[in-house]
Amino acid sequence: MIASPQRKPRLPHRRPPLIPALLVVPVMLTGLYLAGVPWVVTGLDAFWEGVDHLGQYSELLWAVTAISWLGVALLFLRLHRLTQWNQRVLSALKAAMDEAEEIRALGRSVLADLAQARGVPRKDRAWASSMLAALTPQHIDEVLDQEDEKGVNPTETK
């Protein structure tokens, strides 16, 4: 069989599941320790002896603990900001699809601002930009056609 000269689509790169590994590995090691597997017992005993020796450096351990808490706080702050950005985008999308033209224009302007926000992943900003492009009329003719369908005369002044 002759292989096709066309390239096959590549599968997306899968990252190893970090969180399940962090949960499963300690449980497995504990089970092997309790079962009395010699290499596990020796390794874990040596590990905990090393941890006991770190007690001599309590100031260092306090500093490491403080830095780790700071890292967790920054992570939660970033997640909170991304959640707020997501809620703002959803509200702007709802406004951009409203029946009233003033609200639609306001929703599109807010969506344009959110598409340029800093601290948001590039893919999310690109998605917001594409949604903005999809919701923005391309030509004034489309707007005039929509107004004609509603029975509004665009040349009429109030």
pLDDT attached to residue 146: 61
In a domain, 48, yes or no: yes
- CA 44 to CA 33: how far, in whole Å? 8
13 belongs to a structural domain: no
Question: 31 with 87, same domain?
Answer: no
Between 148 and 20, whose confidence is greater? 20
pLDDT tens by residue, 126-147: 888 888 888 887 754 555 566 5
Do 94 and 34 fall within a single domain? no
User: What are the φ/ψ torsions at residue 58 (nearest 5 degrees)?
Assistant: -65, -35
Contact 95, 107 (CB under 8 A): yes
Share of the chain above pLDDT 90, in %: 36
CA distance 41 to 44: 5
User: Considering its fold, how many domains does the chain have in total?
Assistant: 2
Q: How does pLDDT run across 39-65, given as a tens digit for each residue?
A: 999 999 999 999 888 888 888 889 999
Could you tell me the residue range of the domain that residue 31 belongs to?
22-53
